[in-house]
């Protein structure tokens, strides 16, 4: 079972128990986040496809912490003009652990409302 969610302008394929790094969210560590922008849910016997989002579907995740990504070097260069700029960038990230996938108001993991 997996779901495709949208967070921070990007799409992620997630399943229960998986850890995921997304762009920094303004939530506290240890709190639970309800991601309501679900594009697709696929189970062993059925698939829900959204247009653009699946109705009454959400993904529950717990915030594990906040971190920063690896450093990316941004190098601007113009030949023959002695123009060179070297800058670095580290993206602010939030680490999420996927707890449950909800479709039509009930859990797909435990089949409870």
Sign of CA dihedral 75, 91, 8, 108: positive
Which residue from 58, 40, 35 is spatially nearest to 50, judged by alpha carbons?
40
**95, exposed or middle or buried, with CB in 10 Å at 0-12, 13-18, 19+?**
middle
Whole-structure pTM value: 0.83
SS3 state at 37 = coil
For the chain, give every domain's residue range.
Answer: 2-107
Q: 23-77, pLDDT tens digit by residue? A: 999 999 999 999 989 999 998 888 889 888 999 899 999 999 999 999 999 999 9
């Amino acid at each position: 079972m997996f779901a495709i969610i949208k967070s921070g302008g990007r799409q992620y394929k997630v399943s229960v128990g998986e850890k995921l790094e997304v762009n920094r969210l303004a939530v506290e560590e240890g709190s639970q986040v309800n991601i309501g922008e679900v594009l697709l849910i696929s189970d062993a016997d059925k698939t829900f496809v959204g247009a653009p989002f699946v109705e009454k579907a959400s993904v529950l995740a717990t915030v594990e912490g906040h971190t920063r990504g690896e450093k990316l070097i941004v190098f601007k260069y113009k030949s023959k003009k002695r123009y060179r700029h070297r800058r670095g960038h580290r993206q602010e990230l939030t680490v999420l652990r996927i707890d449950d996938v909800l479709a039509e108001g009930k859990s797909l993991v435990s089949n409870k409302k």
